[in-house]
Amino acid sequence: MDAYTLKKKKNSGEYHLFKGRMTEEGCTSQQLSVCGKMDKSESIENIFACEEEETARKKCAKIGRKVCSMCISHLYTSYLITDQHNSNS
Ligand SMILES: [Zn+2]
């Protein structure tokens, strides 16, 4: 299952989303944010960690404009694709 972590970027203070996988010990996150603009090493804080896609979407919507728009749009794009896939099966 996919896991999402929202990290705060140093200097800009923008929040970027990192995709990862749920594991038994917690979750992993990729080296680069989903938009590719932030490296994990630039993180100063986790806003949330290891959330499912649905929860991540809701939390990002609540946080609002501080969250990188490219990262947000990825959440909604994959949601639509998953939705279509489900209705076909
Ligand atoms: Zn981003």
Share of the chain above pLDDT 90, in %: 78
Q: Looking up tokens 């290891």, which residue turns up?
A: 50
Residue that wins the pLDDT comparison between 79 and 16: 16
Residue that wins the pLDDT comparison between 15 and 75: 15
Position 1 confidence tier, pLDDT thresholds 50, 70, 90? confident
Q: How far apart are CA 10 and CA 86, in angstroms?
A: 39
Backbone angles phi, psi at 70, to 5 degrees: -70, -40
This prediction's pTM: 0.85
Coil, strand, or helix at residue 54? helix
Whose CA is closest to 51, among 2, 14, 3, 16? Answer: 3
Tens digit of each residue's pLDDT (9 = 90 or more) over 19-52: 999 999 899 999 999 999 999 999 999 999 999 9
Ligand 1 centroid–CA 28 distance in Å is: 17
Ligand 1 centroid–CA 46 distance in Å is: 14
